[in-house]
Amino acid sequence: MKNLLTAILMTIVTTILLGVIYPLVVTGLAQAIFPDQANGQLIRRSDGTIIGSRIIGQPFTGPGYFHSRPSAAGPAGYDASASSGSNLGPTSKKLIERVAAQVADLQKENPGKPIPVDLVTMSASGLDPHISPAAADFQVPRVARERGLTENDIREIVSAHTEGRTFGLLGEPRVNVLELNLELDRRKPLR
């Protein structure tokens, strides 16, 4: 009986300590020290309307916008509540057909130009907010044409939004698609 009482008390104490107190302390510290990160790095309009998040990808389909990586998160993609990759292996017929179709579409956009791999492959989460500088450069002619700007103007905007490696050595250079498209809308809104 004594062991049972000890087990019940330990369960109650650890549940309160690890299930209530610890999460509240960590959440409170995160809110106090890193409020932007703790709240999802949201981007808002001047009127307070949430546009998106710096850390969660979203689709852009218009020709005047840079397009994100493909997404398998959820049935339509880019569903933050269903984060996942496609789980298709490199020999999957479905994957090969999807990539081939995307390559064919992109070849129409820039005939003869090599297609960066991140424009036809999905990230593991399906919510990657970044594309490579090469993927951005591939899309420059289309965006410049649709926006009525020169390719050099667009490349300058891309360059200004290209992030280097974290701490100078981790990861690869990358471009946040949402921030890049917002900058384009600020400088030259679509007609």
- Yes or no: say if 141 and 132 are a contact pair by the CB < 8 Å rule: no
Locus of tokens 């384009």: 184
Using DSSP, state whether 177 is helix, strand or coil. Answer: helix
Which residues are bridge partners to 162 per DSSP?
A: 175
Report the chain's terminal Cα–Cα distance, integer Å.
77
Starting at the edge strand found earlier in the chain, the sheet holding 174-176 runs 130-131, 174-176, 162-163
Query: Which tens digits make up the pLDDT trace of 3-19?
Result: 999 999 999 999 999 99
Q: Smallest Cα–Cα separation from 157: which of 70, 50, 65, 57?
A: 65
Instruction: Give the number of other CB atoms < 10 A from CB of residue 68.
Output: 26
Query: Which tens digits make up the pLDDT trace of 109-160?
Result: 888 899 999 999 888 887 889 999 999 999 999 999 999 999 999 999 999 9
Enumerate the domain spans of the chain: 1-39, 42-187
